[in-house]
Amino acid sequence: MKENFFKLMEANPVFASIKNEEGLETCRTSKEITVVLILYGDICHIGQIVETIKDAGKIAIVHMDLIEGLGGKETTVDFIKEHTAADGIISTRPALVKRGKELGLYAILRIFMLDSRAFENIQKQLNFVKPDALEILPGLIPKIIRRVSKMTKIPIIAGGLISEKEDVVAALSAGAISVSTTNVNVWKM
């Protein structure tokens, strides 16, 4: 039986996300990495990529949305289960994550938190899917704003999920020229 996913995450707070063969080789030989998220490959080679990770004694989780040749149907999760040694899947598609759970795979729902509508939809998705974990992106918006503002002279407007004064201050401090929000309380600050 698979280890409790929560305990696995506690013991391994950094998951390696790999997007090419160089990343695969680096994580394969790294003693610090235990869990690997596979963000590249195609239907013909995903089994080999997973096998390389498994042979290194690591947990392999396949990003269903990023593997060329896999579609958005639940049968693609069946394919991963039957034709690879993957321990789990990750996807932005709730139906795929739900199918992964049904098949006994670790199942991660990836959510892009772009605005308040995305935030409001989380509970509906969680009730339907019941994933083992959520991956919420982006993780470090002020840091990204800072990097982009250094790269261009074009003014940056930070939008999405701005709901408190500290959100406004963080965005402006990072280099945004202004923020956009649907939150009326922020409009009045």
What is the Cα–Cα distance from 130 to 165, expressed in whole angstroms?
A: 33
Q: Tell which wins on pLDDT, 153 or 63.
A: 63
Which pLDDT value is given to residue 41? 97
> Is the separation of the CB atoms in 128 and 105 below 8 Å?
no
What is the Cα–Cα distance from 149 to 145, expressed in whole angstroms?
A: 6
What is the Cα–Cα distance from 180 to 67, expressed in whole angstroms?
A: 34
Token pair for residue 167?
Answer: 């959100």
Domains of the chain are: 5-137 (3.20.20.70), 141-187 (no CATH)
What is the Cα–Cα distance from 134 to 114, expressed in whole angstroms?
A: 15
Q: What is the mean pLDDT of the chain?
A: 86
What is the Cα–Cα distance from 160 to 102, expressed in whole angstroms?
A: 33
Q: Tell which wins on pLDDT, 159 or 19.
A: 19
What is the Cα–Cα distance from 167 to 27, expressed in whole angstroms?
A: 35
What is the Cα–Cα distance from 74 to 88, expressed in whole angstroms?
A: 14
Convert the pLDDT of each residue in 26-70 to its tens digit: 989 988 889 999 999 999 999 999 999 999 999 999 999 999 999
Confidence band of 139 (pLDDT split at 50, 70, 90): low
Beta-carbon count within 10 A of 36 CB: 27
Instruction: Please list, in sequence order, all residues whose beta carbon lies within 8 angstroms of the beta carbon of residue 122, skipping any fewer than 6 positions away.
Output: 111, 134
